[in-house]
Amino acid sequence: MLTREGPHAVTIHRVMATVGMTHGGFYAHFESREALLRAASDLAGRESEAALTVGNGSGRDFLRQFVARYLGRAHRDSPEKGCPLPASLSGSAAADRQATDPNQLVRRYIALLAGALGGDVHQAEERSRAALAMMIGSLQLARLEHDEGESDQILRAGRAAVLNLLDAPP
């Protein structure tokens, strides 16, 4: 629900109906909706990070594989199994950003990419920030596009642009 529709779609009533429990039972597990959002966002981010980084090798191989997975059809077509950042950055999710704190995941992804780039830390982090922004934007555009062929082209163009940025000398 969180990664597919964004934090605004996560309501206590909806969550409890989905798991087959009463509204009152919610408070035995979480003190508030914000606590649920924090826990769900953290879990979604860690699961996404693990799925995107498994078996990726190191250095440039890691970068190519990470970008290919992030901007791949599987990630586009299964937002509920993917990175929560695109959903959490929608305009309707603005009120929930403090509870979900997407900045933690942003910083982890930047550190992952910068670590794989190596070299000057400041330059690697700057390129990683730009690459992450391009990946999130490309993924959002690809998900918005109704024509699958055009959506695939957006993913391909995004991959090429991100890899060009990451492979370019600083």
Residue 129 pLDDT greater than 80, yes or no = yes
Confidence tier at 6 by pLDDT (50, 70, 90) = low
CA distance 60 to 63: 5
**Do the beta carbons of residue 29 and residue 38 sit within 8 Å?**
no
One-letter amino acid at 131 equals A
CA distance 97 to 144: 22
Comparing 129 with 33, the larger pLDDT belongs to: 129
CA distance 59 to 166: 11
Q: In the structure encoding, which two tokens stand for residue 56, read together?
A: 């990726």
**Do the beta carbons of residue 110 and residue 167 sit within 8 Å?**
no
Global pTM value: 0.77
- pLDDT, tens digit (0-9, with 9 covering 90-100), for 11-28: 777 877 777 877 777 777
Min mean pLDDT across 44-58, 114-128, 150-164 is at 44-58
* Domains along the chain with CATH numbers: 2-167 (1.10.357.10)
- pLDDT, tens digit (0-9, with 9 covering 90-100), for 38-97: 777 778 778 877 777 777 677 888 899 999 999 999 999 998 888 888 877 765 445 555
- pLDDT number for residue 92: 45
Residue 149 pLDDT greater than 80, yes or no = yes
